[in-house]
């Protein structure tokens, strides 16, 4: 069998898991949205058994919350949660950048810089690279460069997926993207010079700035809809219901 062909022995539950996870991190399933078992089961053409397994697996990854007898919802992070997650990410990714500076080969740093060029081009041509879930990302590349499987798993999967739920729709403030690219260049520069301390510091500052920027935008939306209101909206979201008038 050709290697490009997917193994047919992948479980239906696994397939549903991947599909739902992608839908969540891509924003197709919004934060706090209710997840109907029957609906998704029909959508994927599978029984409710495997679907429930996929949901439970996502619950273990904290991407969905399940309340007994009340159904599953996409997890909904408060602003405070996002702040805390960003701080964890700042600490860990600084360390990952430090390790990457020490451990990446010159050729790997070359590839990293090439990735930056690609992103610059994409930005200039206006393509949204964050549309697909598996887009090669600058931060992902750096973390992978740390060669620490646990750091990679934490930063590139668990924390990253959680934070992606709250990514802003538009590119945010104009000028921030350019500043971010400059900071990326600066980090790679420090890595080239094998200055691990400086690279770690720059990465920490970069993430701190990104957090500030995100929270400023978040603050705007929270003026429109407070957290309590969102909770309320989630609660009173109507279930599908047949409108047949009951017979007397």
Partner DNA sequence: CGCCCTCAGATTGTCAACAATGTGTTTTTG
Partner DNA sequence: CAAAAACACATTGTTGACAATCTGAGGGCG
- Per-residue mark of binding to its own copies, 39-78 (x: CB under 8 A): ----------x--xxx-xxxxxxx-----xx---------
Contact in structure between 196 and 96 (CB atoms under 8 Å) = no
CB 113, min distance to DNA, A? 42
Question: Within a 10 A sphere around the Cβ of 161, how many other Cβ atoms?
Answer: 19
Looking at the Cβ atoms of 22 and 59, the one nearer to its own copies is 59
**In degrees, to the nearest 5, what angle opens at C-alpha 46 toward C-alphas 42 and 50?**
120
Work out which of 142, 154, 156, 187 binds its own copies, going by CB under 8 A: 154
Contact in structure between 35 and 55 (CB atoms under 8 Å) = yes
CB 206, min distance to its own copies, A? 18
CB 182, min distance to its own copies, A? 27
The secondary structure element, H or E, covering residue 26 is: none
Looking at the Cβ atoms of 77 and 188, the one nearer to its own copies is 77
Binding stretches for DNA (CB under 7 A) = 8-9, 11-13, 34-38, 45-50, 52, 66, 68-72, 236-242, 244-246, 248
Looking at the Cβ atoms of 72 and 112, the one nearer to DNA is 72
Pick the closest to residue 133 from 173, 100, 165 (CA basis): 165
Considering only residues 93 to 152 of the shown chain, the ones binding its own copies according to CB under 8 A are: 95, 148-151
Q: Is 6 in the site for its own copies (CB under 8 A)?
A: no
The β-bridge partners of 66 are: 72
Looking at the Cβ atoms of 35 and 163, the one nearer to DNA is 35
Work out which of 91, 114, 128, 225 binds its own copies, going by CB under 8 A: 91
User: Could you tell me the CA-to-CA distances from 133 to 114, 158, 235 in Å, in that order?
Assistant: 20, 14, 29
Contact in structure between 63 and 204 (CB atoms under 8 Å) = no
Nearest-Å Rg of the Cα atoms of the chain is 21
């Amino acid at each position: 069998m050709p290697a490009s062909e997917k193994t047919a022995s992948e479980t239906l539950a696994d397939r549903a898991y991947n599909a739902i996870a992608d839908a969540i991190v891509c924003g197709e399933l919004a934060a706090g949205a209710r997840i109907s078992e029957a609906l998704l089961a029909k959508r994927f053409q599978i029984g409710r058994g495997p679907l429930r397994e996929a949901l439970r697996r996502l619950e273990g990854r904290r991407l969905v919350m399940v309340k007994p007898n009340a159904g599953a919802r996409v997890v909904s992070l408060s602003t405070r949660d996002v702040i805390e997650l960003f701080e964890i990410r700042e600490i860990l990714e600084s360390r990952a950048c430090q390790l990457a500076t020490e451990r990446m080969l010159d050729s790997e740093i070359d590839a990293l810089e090439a990735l930056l060029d690609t992103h610059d081009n994409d930005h200039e041509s206006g393509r949204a690279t964050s549309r697909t879930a598996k887009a090669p990302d600058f931060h992902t590349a750096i973390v992978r460069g740390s060669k620490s499987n646990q750091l990679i798993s934490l930063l590139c999967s668990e924390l990253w997926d959680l934070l992606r739920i709250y990514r802003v729709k538009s590119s945010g403030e104009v000028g921030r993207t350019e500043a971010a690219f400059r900071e990326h260049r600066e980090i790679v520069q420090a890595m080239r010079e094998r200055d691990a301390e400086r690279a770690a510091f720059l990465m920490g500052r970069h993430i701190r700035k990104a957090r500030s920027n995100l929270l400023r935008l978040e603050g705007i939306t929270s003026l429109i809809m407070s957290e309590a209101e969102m909770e309320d909206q989630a609660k009173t979201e109507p279930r599908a219901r047949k409108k047949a008038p009951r017979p007397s």
